[in-house]
Amino acid sequence: MFVAASTECFRSLPLTEALERLTDLEFSSVEVALHEQGCQLRPSEVVADFTRCVDRCRNTRRLDVVAYSVEIAATGDEYYRQFEAICRLAKATKVVTLTVPSGELGTPFNEEVERLQRLVDIATLEGIRVAMRSQVGCLSEDPDTVVVLCDNVKGLGLTLDPSHYTFGRERNYDKLYKYVYHVHLRDTTKDKLQVRVGQGSIEYGRLIASLRKVGYNRVLGIDMSEMEDVDHMAELRKMRLLLESLL
Torsion-angle region of 70 (φ positive above 0: left; ψ -120 to 50: alpha; else: beta): beta
Nearest to 9 by CA among 81, 164, 238, 30: 30
Task: Please tell me the pTM assigned to this model.
Answer: 0.94
Tell me, what's the pLDDT at 169?
85
Percent of the chain with pLDDT over 70: 100
Would you list the domain boundaries of the chain? 2-246
Q: What value does the mean pLDDT take over residues 155-175?
A: 95
Question: Strand runs (DSSP E) across the chain, as ranges?
Answer: 2-6, 29-35, 64-71, 97-100, 129-133, 157-160, 180-185, 219-222
Mean pLDDT to the nearest integer, 32-46: 96
215/122 Cα distance (integer angstroms): 26
Distance in angstroms (rounded) separating the CA atoms of residues 130 and 124: 9
CA distance 224 to 216: 22
Nearest 5°: CA angle at 27, between 24 and 30? 115
Q: Which CATH superfamily is domain 2-246 in?
A: Divalent-metal-dependent TIM barrel enzymes (3.20.20.150)
Looking at residue 130, its pLDDT comes to 98
What pLDDT band is residue 185 in, cutting at 50, 70 and 90?
Answer: very high
Long-range (24+ apart) CB contacts under 8 A made by 169-178 are 171/141, 171/142, 171/143, 172/143, 173/134, 173/143, 174/210, 175/143, 175/147, 176/143, 176/146, 176/147, 177/210, 177/211, 177/213, 177/214, 177/216, 178/214
